[in-house]
A and B are shown apart, each in its own frame.
Chain A
Amino acid sequence: MNTKRRGERAVELSLTLIAVSSVAILFIITFFIFKEGLPFILEVGPGKMLFALDWAPTKGKFGLLPMIVGSLLATGGALLIGVPLGLSCAIFLVEFSKPRVRRVLKPAIELLAGIPSVVYGFLGVVFLVPLIRTHLGGPGLSLLAGALILGVMILPTVISISIDALEAVPRSYREGSLALGATTAQTVTHVVIPAARSGIVTAVILGMGRAIGETMAVIMVTGNALDLPGSPLAPIRTLTSNIALELGYAAGNHQKALFATGVILFVMIMILNLAATATSRRRAR
């Protein structure tokens, strides 16, 4: 009987170690990125890195401002496109469609999430970029192209989390409003959406996280220029593209600079994650 007990103990210990490993992995990743990147940021000077415009790492210039602006603009644009579209789809699916329709459409939209980013990027290059170049001007490879592609890419995330948020609103809320004579549309606008507000905010924040972390599609359609964009038709470079484009051949300080880029990206996303957890916890309350 003692062997059984010892066996159980061994299992429990192994499982504890395994479980803690995910924490350990996150910790190691964070540690490594910061270990390689943070000293460099401090060495060059955070002001110089975050606000300088010149990125020429082989010549000792590490200005990340164009990339930071690029990431923010691309993400902002993605949200401008993805959130209204996504939220509308979610509202339609939850409030205005028959369950049969929803059962088919919801998984179909989730399939969009499985399409690899390189495929989106490729289609962007083949369709979107020429379209922009011909009809709107500029090189085609642009902030606009990036925002559009990213907007579509975050749709599945925004839609499915918004659907969850809307479905979580108790039926009694809707019934109360309808009983007072309101139309469904009025109910949705004045009752459901406010009630689902924090869940929708979570959807937006997670969509933001996805957009800001996206690399491949962005590299393919944004042109990767190192200047601040003068208009949506101008090319941009994001923080993620910066890392991906140069990692293959960077060495020494250059490589450290890429880690520094990673640190900044990392910090931005950690903040977003905390915000998402905080809002969704408020929703639970």
Chain B
Amino acid sequence: MSLREREPCAGAKVRIEAFSFFYPGGHAALRDVTLAIACNSILGIVGPSSSGKSTLLRCLNRMSDFAHGTSHDGRILLDGEDIHGSQVEPPDLRRRIGMVFDTPVPLPRSIYDNIAYGPRLHGVRERSRLDELVESSLRAAILWDEVKDRLGSSALRLSGGQQQRLCIARTIALDPEVILLDEPCSGLDPISTLKIEEALSELKERFTIVLVTNNTKQAARVSDEVAYFLMGELVEHGPAQQIFTVPRDRRTDDYISGRFG
């Protein structure tokens, strides 16, 4: 009902090819990153602060366009298409690649209107359709039972953890293909964190998920693949199991084991 027909995902959903990103003045925030993100999987991106993790995320849905004076090298492909291609409209791209930020940002309106905001932006008007979308998104974010009786109340009244799940639901309502999460659990209590991690595990069946996290334990719990970034460089990536037990690179080992970062 809410899922639109889309082509089955094959191989890599997102390919990052020799991608570099430069701030005005030439300093490289990301250097020569090559990475493939598999369909319906969770990629955990870890690394100390200022390693370029959030920058990479913002490049994936071209939120980086809003930073003036920046430039990039290399390509990022979504289903084989260059996201910087001349035919690509960033708003359309962002509909396919959704984002959840590190602090929950509910819009100052009702829970219902928060979720319906995205679909309404793209022309969905029928009440019944919106009702469907709101319910299915809230269920997918594991928030429905907690708010189903007060969809009309202000989203600002929810707790931090609930607000973040609201933000996830808001992103899901657009039925994206990829969901980017930038340290979504920072500042949340352990219960909320657990609920979100639980939601993510279920969501990967529908979406491809990229999760940036400062918490290596969380990455270990949730991710299928893990990528370790250090100072703008992709040091190592591989199955979570492997990265956290027998990392190939010395630097990865230092970070994982807490000797560094």
A interface residues (Cβ-Cβ under 8 A, vs B)? 1, 4-5
Contact = CB atoms under 8 A, between A and B. Distances in A.
- 5 closest A-B pairs by CB: A1-B89, A1-B92, A5-B89, A4-B89, A4-B91
A200 B104 CA distance: 42
Interface of B: 89, 91-92
5 contacts: A1-B89, A1-B92, A4-B89, A4-B91, A5-B89
> From DSSP, what is the main secondary structure of chain B's interface residues?
helix
Contacts of B91: 4
Nearest to B88: A1
Contacts of B89: 1, 4-5
Nearest to A1: B89
Contacts of A4: 89, 91
Contacts of A1: 89, 92
A217 B89 CA distance: 59
Nearest to A2: B89
B245 to A, nearest CB: 47
B65 to A, nearest CB: 14
Contacts of B92: 1
Nearest to A8: B91
B94 to A, nearest CB: 13
Contacts of A5: 89
A4 B92 CA distance: 11
A102 to B, nearest CB: 30
A5 B88 CA distance: 11
Nearest to B91: A4
A5 B91 CA distance: 10
B240 to A, nearest CB: 38
Nearest to A5: B89
Nearest to B92: A1
Nearest to B87: A1
A33 to B, nearest CB: 39
Nearest to B122: A4
A187 B92 CA distance: 60
A275 B34 CA distance: 56
A4 B122 CA distance: 11
A4 B91 CA distance: 10
A42 to B, nearest CB: 47
Nearest to B89: A1
A4 B89 CA distance: 10
A5 B86 CA distance: 13
A154 to B, nearest CB: 40
A75 B199 CA distance: 71
B7 to A, nearest CB: 19
A4 B123 CA distance: 12
A5 B87 CA distance: 11
A5 B89 CA distance: 8
A240 B12 CA distance: 76
A184 to B, nearest CB: 41
A226 to B, nearest CB: 59
A1 B92 CA distance: 9
A135 to B, nearest CB: 60
B115 to A, nearest CB: 22
A140 to B, nearest CB: 58
A174 B92 CA distance: 54
A234 to B, nearest CB: 61
A1 B95 CA distance: 13
A58 B89 CA distance: 68
A106 B65 CA distance: 44
